[in-house]
């Protein structure tokens, strides 16, 4: 657990009307001094303008902060406020960057920036860019990124990544460990920087903005863009998952309705904004007082949502935006007072570690397997080699069933017990035998009898039922096995098959038989003579060969070309597979070196993530090898796809060749291939076959991502507008 006070950075809005006479800024010490001369009109009540009245109006204010940025660029602001929190989030500590200030002071510009010019992009896109750069550089970790975008407008929550519509299912709640989460909020998984920035732009288009005298595009809601991280180690245990998040908060600006001229809906929005910011200030005041037991987080959705960020488990940076003009001095002092109170709040940051249940199950299964092997080795050394600890196979269960049956029948006087496992199995078989006996007794068709004393009172037809035939239905739950009778063996005599007595069969009319034989012989002779006339001097193999060389030469040539291509592709796969095997061996060796390095480290080095130069070089080489292996496997995959297409082409060509030959054969000789004893359709295809073992499976990049994401969202917006117009 790390106790860290909230870091406060003051950023001034650039203006040509800077109040130099009233505001003095020292960027080196972080001190801001404000002077407002006493005014008789401001100091006296209109009813008490008496001579000699003492004006107690305060003239001077002094504030000291962690850093004051005057006329600073977006890049400088990000370097001071954002970089540290990105590295902390990747280390497992949640972070929050919050922009606070009056309306028109530049909060949204600080957080989001300008979408027109890339160099003016704000804190949110810069954090996303640096985050994915760090993820690519961390070879030893597997990091999953998800983003969400929530808006609080008039004390109602909206999911900006779900179209911005109000979702009644959204609810702020705490998990068992006290971490705040929003139930029902959409979290989009992002594989690349471009995906994450596209989601950010998509959410921005759904935000609520309005216009008043001080700001043409004033944010009328509080927005929280959250980056969710799940970090797994590729070197240490994989079941440990580090959960962290980075909240990027753009608060709506506090405003005085007299200056903004808000009316109607804008006035109602201003009331909700000021009310929620007032509750936020009450929470900050309560946290700054050490004796307070109750912190009023639940007064508003904003304070409840930011519970982790203010006084909770997070490293927080607040950017206080001020408008240093003479007309805005009162709002500037109010913002600086709030920022000074925020510096008194201390957060307790901890690394949140969860255990992946699926990975744990696999780990425990492996441990159980290893322990069984070790126990079997111990039994072997102790001359107890017959004992097994794996579950019984069906054959072993049947053997134990026979032993139990023999013991019950008295054929066995004693049972040799090898292990407790065998005892449990025998009891299980005893129970099964008992249950089967009870079912037999309850069966209505069951007739108790003995072989020595048959029941002669039953009729012959009833006694037949007592015999256990093959396939009799047992308890109407299936067919049983029984023993077949000696007379149940089928005979092969034609007399029995047709169910005609032997004597009667011999007395059949011989003339009728002779006539049938003669008619049959005449029919066969005519058929054979007809076929012989048509296939005289026809050699099937030779006819097919001649057809391939003449009429079917083009199809045959295509088949041979495809076969040659197939051989080349498969030879390429063999060579690439050998390269893949070598790369995998090299990767395993590199992993072994890294694992050995981790074993040699102490707990402090592991916790701090210290990597020496040799380990860094090894990780870099490992990344290059994985990249090469991935490309190699992609090439193999492409070759296999090509082989499938070539195989399909060969099959189709073969079918076309045989079909063409059949038409040719029918046209030339007046018969089909079915008229021949050995059809060419079933001819061996050795000339077209290949036996191969390889068939077995075995400009600035940030700017480009930013621009592509922006263009994607812009096109999506145009498409939606056109769809609405058509409707």
Whole-angstrom Cα distance, residue 191 to residue 672?
61
Instruction: Kindly tell me the burial class for residue 718, based on how many C-beta atoms sit within 10 Å of its own C-beta (0-12, 13-18, 19 or more).
Output: exposed
pLDDT averages per 10-residue partition of the chain, 727 residues: 87 89 90 82 45 68 92 91 91 92 88 83 92 87 91 87 68 83 90 90 78 60 92 75 92 75 75 88 88 86 90 91 89 91 89 78 81 76 66 84 88 80 86 87 59 45 43 45 49 45 48 57 55 50 76 82 87 87 86 79 62 78 85 84 82 80 70 46 42 42 72 75 68
Length of the chain: 727
Per the CB < 8 A criterion, the answer to whether 416 and 424 are in contact is no
**Is there a binding annotation on residue 633?**
no
DSSP character at residue 102: B
Quick check: pTM over 0.75? no
pLDDT for position 649: 82
**Is there a binding annotation on residue 133?**
no
State CA 528 to chain mean position distance. 70
Whole-angstrom Cα distance, residue 665 to residue 541?
12
Q: Domain residues of the chain, as ranges? A: 2-37+56-355, 358-415+424-429, 551-682+701-724
pLDDT for position 497: 42
Give 346's strand partners: 5
pLDDT for position 50: 47
57, 64, 123: which is closest to 96 by C-alpha? 123
Longest CA–CA span in the chain (Å) reads: 157
DSSP character at residue 233: E
Per the CB < 8 A criterion, the answer to whether 246 and 226 are in contact is yes
Per the CB < 8 A criterion, the answer to whether 670 and 536 are in contact is no
In whole angstroms, how far apart are CA 317 and each of 267, 283, 320?
30, 17, 10
**Is there a binding annotation on residue 108?**
yes
- Dihedral sign from CA coordinates of 600, 605, 611, 612: negative
Whole-angstrom Cα distance, residue 630 to residue 461?
76
**Is there a binding annotation on residue 107?**
yes
Q: Classify each residue of 515-535 as buried b or exposed e, where b means 16 or more C-beta atoms within 10 Å of its C-beta.
A: eeeeeeeeeeeeeeeeeeeee
The β-bridge relationship of strands 95-101 and 240-250 is parallel
Per the CB < 8 A criterion, the answer to whether 252 and 219 are in contact is yes
Whole-angstrom Cα distance, residue 410 to residue 407?
5
Whole-angstrom Cα distance, residue 12 to residue 521?
115
Q: CB neighbours (10 Å) of residue 599?
A: 7
Q: For 2-37+56-355, give the CATH class.
A: alpha beta
Whole-angstrom Cα distance, residue 253 to residue 266?
13
Whole-angstrom Cα distance, residue 672 to residue 55?
122
**Is there a binding annotation on residue 191?**
no
pLDDT for position 94: 92
pLDDT for position 697: 41
**Is there a binding annotation on residue 43?**
no
**Is there a binding annotation on residue 104?**
yes
Q: Classify each residue of 660-696 as buried b or exposed e, where b means 16 or more C-beta atoms within 10 Å of its C-beta.
A: ebbebbeeeeeeebeebeeebeeeeeeebeeeeebee
Whole-angstrom Cα distance, residue 34 to residue 189?
47
pLDDT for position 660: 79
Instruction: Kindly tell me the burial class for residue 313, based on how many C-beta atoms sit within 10 Å of its own C-beta (0-12, 13-18, 19 or more).
Output: buried
Per the CB < 8 A criterion, the answer to whether 38 and 57 are in contact is yes
């Amino acid at each position: 657990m790390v106790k860290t006070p909230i870091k406060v950075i003051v950023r001034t809005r650039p203006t040509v009307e800077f109040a130099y006479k009233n505001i003095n800024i020292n960027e080196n010490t972080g001190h801001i001094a404000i002077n407002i001369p006493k005014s008789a009109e401001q100091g006296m009540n209109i009813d008490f303008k008496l001579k000699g009245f003492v004006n107690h109006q305060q003239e001077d204010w002094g504030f000291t902060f962690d850093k004051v940025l005057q006329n600073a660029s977006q890049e400088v602001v990000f370097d001071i406020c954002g970089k540290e929190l990105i590295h902390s989030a990747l280390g497992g500590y949640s972070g929050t960057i919050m922009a606070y200030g009056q309306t028109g002071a530049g909060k949204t510009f600080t957080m989001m920036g300008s979408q027109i010019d890339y160099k003016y992009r704000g804190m949110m896109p810069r954090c996303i860019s640096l985050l994915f750069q760090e993820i690519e550089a961390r070879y030893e970790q597997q990091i999953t990124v998800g983003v969400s975008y929530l808006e609080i407008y008039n004390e109602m929550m909206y999911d900006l990544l779900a179209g911005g519509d109000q979702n009644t299912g959204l609810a702020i709640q705490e998990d068992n460990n006290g971490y705040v989460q929003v139930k029902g909020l959409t979290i989009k998984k992002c594989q690349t920087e471009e995906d994450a920035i596209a989601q950010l732009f998509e959410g921005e288009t759904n935000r609520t903005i309005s216009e008043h005298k001080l700001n043409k595009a004033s944010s009328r809601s509080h927005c929280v863009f959250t980056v969710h991280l799940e970090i797994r180690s590729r070197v240490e245990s994989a079941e440990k998952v580090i959960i962290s998040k980075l909240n990027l908060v753009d608060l709506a600006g506090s405003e005085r309705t007299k200056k903004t001229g808000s009316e109607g809906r804008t006035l109602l929005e201003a009331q909700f904004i000021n009310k929620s910011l007032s509750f936020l200030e009450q929470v900050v005041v309560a946290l700054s007082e050490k004796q307070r037991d109750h912190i009023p987080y639940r007064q508003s959705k904003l304070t409840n949502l930011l519970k982790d960020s203010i006084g909770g488990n997070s490293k927080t940076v607040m950017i206080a935006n001020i408008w240093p003009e003479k007309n805005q001095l009162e709002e500037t002092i109010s913002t600086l007072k709030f920022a000074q109170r925020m510096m008194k709040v201390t957060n307790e940051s901890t690394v949140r570690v969860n255990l992946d249940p699926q990975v744990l199950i696999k780990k425990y299964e492996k441990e159980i397997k290893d322990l069984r092997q070790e126990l079997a080795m111990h039994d072997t050394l102790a001359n107890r080699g017959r004992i097994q600890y794996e579950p019984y196979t069906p054959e072993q269960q049947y053997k134990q069933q026979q032993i139990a049956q023999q013991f019950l029948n008295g054929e066995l006087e004693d049972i040799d017990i090898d292990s407790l496992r065998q005892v449990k199995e025998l009891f299980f078989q005893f129970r099964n035998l008992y249950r089967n006996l009870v079912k037999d007794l309850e069966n209505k068709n069951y007739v108790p009898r003995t072989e020595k004393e048959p029941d002669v009172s039953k009729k012959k037809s009833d006694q037949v039922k007592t015999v256990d035939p093959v396939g009799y239905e047992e308890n109407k739950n299936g067919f049983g096995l029984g023993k077949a009778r000696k007379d149940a063996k089928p005979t092969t005599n034609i007399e029995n098959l047709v169910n005609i007595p032997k004597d009667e069969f011999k007395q059949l009319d011989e003339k009728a038989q002779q006539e049938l034989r003669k008619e049959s012989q005449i029919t066969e002779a005519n058929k054979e003579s007809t076929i012989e006339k048509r296939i005289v001097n026809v050699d099937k193999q030779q006819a097919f060969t001649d057809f391939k060389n003449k009429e079917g030469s083009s199809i045959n040539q295509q088949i041979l070309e495809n076969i040659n291509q197939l051989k080349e592709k498969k030879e390429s796969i063999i060579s690439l597979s050998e390269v893949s095997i070598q790369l995998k061996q090299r990767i395993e060796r590199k992993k072994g070196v890294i694992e050995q390095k981790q074993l040699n480290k102490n707990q402090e080095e592991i916790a701090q993530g210290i990597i020496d130069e040799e380990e860094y070089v090894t990780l870099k080489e490992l990344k290059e090898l994985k990249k090469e292996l991935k490309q190699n496997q992609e090439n193999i995959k492409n070759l296999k796809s090509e082989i499938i297409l070539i195989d399909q082409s060969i099959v189709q060509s073969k079918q076309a060749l045989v079909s063409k030959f059949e038409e040719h054969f029918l046209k030339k000789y007046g018969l089909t291939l079915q008229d021949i004893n050995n059809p060419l359709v079933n001819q061996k295809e050795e000339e077209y076959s290949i036996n191969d073992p390889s068939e077995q499976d075995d400009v600035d990049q940030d700017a480009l991502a930013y621009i592509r994401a922006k263009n994607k969202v812009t096109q999506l917006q145009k498409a939606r507008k056109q769809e609405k117009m058509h409707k």
